[in-house]
Structure 1
């Protein structure tokens, strides 16, 4: 039986966090070590983490991605092939920012982006950028279906004092494992939401220096889809930094996807849905005339800063902290492992970066268990 040599541990491997990294690790372990007992714990009520797709009638068969939405570096992005394996459709329509379908001031947008993004190490892989028609969140959650999972289980303490087992305390009782893989967000680690006994100060410090920034999305339904051009990218304003970017009718759907980041995203999230709707309406009206407001209403909106078990969108490195991604990713005592987009040196902030760290952690876990049967 799996785990019969585990000195009292209930599971061989417990994975904390059912986002892209946790799911990827679980599926990899299932493939290479089918003898292991694996359990995935998720504090929220769904699989996918920061990948979350919702359906709306006005979008037809297109899902709206409230989290990650683009298969960046699509030709080498592992999720591209997985989409086909799980029966989803990858739409290879070129991203509007790569195909020339923009509405204004490309040079200003590019210049502004280069002032706020660190390109030195970021490398999502060779383009283009594609989309999953049924949603990136749908893809990741569907890939996780074969994994034994418990939802609504919030881990509060990891006790690794004993050589033969790791004790895990949760809001639904305790369990034990031989190995634990932690894939929760850096904001949750930094806030001490999971206590380690003995403490792991180097992990917490790395998490503090690799916090989550904020990007939110607002989807607007469009009453008359002919009012706006299809699959077009638009920058809201070049006269101020606090502006949104807009995907007009993505994949031809009768919606507008508004994207807000940084301080603007924090402000609009605090002020609520109506404030975000008013802001987007103002920027679209400036481009298309005041009558466009009559065509718009709110279809869906994200609020990632307030997401109770996540607390933001994706990680960034504070000045001088980029090397701490490696510190965060390093296993502790070959029994506690870490994965997630924040652990990726070059593909941080992406779902495929998270996937790659999950697979890498799974391979290390398999090696550790082979050495310590």
Structure 2
């Protein structure tokens, strides 16, 4: 078994796979270490009830510039470029349309006020209208977007994403997680269920210690979540405290999904969207019969996701079932039954949904993306300057880190490189 490589990638999510694809194209020998028994990280498609449901990331945000679209099409994965379900409401929804419009306007007004707040306190809650009647709705939507309450949202950070987004949200019928996991190059050495425990600098690169032994490389790319990076699961070299501090300034929010199976065909229309209680910051957003499947996906963010994390799946099912009954009438109670619930915040190898910069700390993304001693490189959605929270931002950060690692190895003289990279060095020396 090989124990020496050009590059070791720690983390097999979208960033790690993006890095592996880039390094493969450059001819580097690469080992990917993944703590869990599967690839994909926060991109995870699971067959539930016979349907490929995305437990994590689901939408090709900014689809017209999303790298995964090209990867999907090159790999034969269909891409649905139609409007997302939240673009239309369920015809059986008894929600007052005037109230919905007022709530949406209030959210838009909050986003506009963020521009003023960004130049001051940078705290998202300072853009809330004092005593505003729709603040609960704003809190709920902010929870969907960032996973945290407005008090913990950097206005500067929020606007960086919002301004860069193209608003094109496309879908992968076979699952985003399916695509990400299938995209690792076959030439990449892979070790699943092998968490990195320690990373040390060596004279010619790095040594990564795992339960299965120590592996060595000229460089390592660390793509783990900010929760993991800020914690003590991986012992990093002396001098990396600033990176841990940057990760702590970019905590993962709470976002969970609850899936319900529809047992009666006539109960709901297909491919539509509904929203729960406009006056409850815990409310869920509902994707009903996506792709025509007899399934309801309830998406909970921030305070709503806290129900699942703190009170457990049964409490989550009870909460969303009550909201659906309130929206569509008591008859639907007998038409739905629990199917699955996520637990991203409870997963030790991840620890939450996606990153959100704390007020005044948006610059932590750039700090976290900096290399350490030209040996240790950092990637992951949290390191992207504006496409954070997305799988394409993670992918692109992995590609950036791969380029940095490749350049550092190429410039470091006296290092014995393996594979095509070594051959290229030998040819250049003649």
Q: How far apart are the structure 1 equivalents of 2:234 and 2:68?
A: 29
2:238 paired residue number: 198
Deviation string 1:15-68 (CA, Å, 9 cap, x unpaired) is 00000000000011101x22x210000000000000000112353xxx100000
Q: How far apart are the structure 2 equivalents of 1:345 and 1:122?
A: 8
Q: How far apart are the structure 2 equivalents of 1:259 and 1:14?
A: 35
Deviation string 1:309-351 (CA, Å, 9 cap, x unpaired) is 0000100000111011000001111111000000011011000
Of 18, 23, 26, 1:29 maps to: 23
Runs of at least 5 residues in structure 1 that lack an aligned partner in the other structure: 4-8
Distance 1:101 1:286, change over 3 A: closer
1:344 paired residue number: 384
Runs of at least 5 residues in structure 2 that lack an aligned partner in the other structure: 108-137, 143-148, 414-430
Q: Secondary structure of the equivalent of 2:270?
A: coil
Q: How far apart are the structure 2 equivalents of 1:287 and 1:52?
A: 29
* TM-superposed deviation, 1:243: 1.0
* TM-superposed deviation, 1:145: 5.1
Distance 1:37 1:361, change over 3 A: same
1:158 paired residue number: 199
Q: How far apart are the structure 2 equivalents of 1:365 and 1:88?
A: 30
Q: How far apart are the structure 2 equivalents of 1:127 and 1:121?
A: 14
* TM-superposed deviation, 1:97: 2.7
Higher helix share: 2
1:252 paired residue number: 292
Greater mean deviation of Cα atoms: 117-126 or 166-175: 117-126
- Written as runs of structure 1 = structure 2, the 5 A alignment for 1:86-105 is 86-99=75-88, 103=93, 104=95, 105=100
Q: How far apart are the structure 2 equivalents of 1:257 and 1:79?
A: 23
Q: Secondary structure of the equivalent of 1:122?
A: helix
Q: How far apart are the structure 2 equivalents of 1:66 and 1:98?
A: 21
**Which structure has the larger Rg?**
2
Cα RMSD between the aligned structures? Answer: 1.9
Q: How far apart are the structure 1 equivalents of 2:335 and 2:199?
A: 52
Of 63, 69, 90, 1:74 maps to: 63
Paired residues of 2:255 and 2:353 also in contact (CA < 8 A): yes
2:329 paired residue number: 289
1:108 paired residue number: 103
Matched, 1:276 2:316: yes
Deviation string 1:153-188 (CA, Å, 9 cap, x unpaired) is 11111111x321311111221111110000000000
- Written as runs of structure 1 = structure 2, the 5 A alignment for 1:292-371 is 292-371=332-411
Paired residues of 1:153 and 1:171 also in contact (CA < 8 A): yes
* TM-superposed deviation, 1:199: 3.6
Of 13, 17, 39, 2:11 maps to: 17
Q: How far apart are the structure 2 equivalents of 1:208 and 1:192?
A: 12
Q: Secondary structure of the equivalent of 1:369?
A: helix
Q: How far apart are the structure 2 equivalents of 1:265 and 1:207?
A: 22
Q: How far apart are the structure 1 equivalents of 2:185 and 2:310?
A: 34
Size of the alignment, in residue pairs?
A: 360
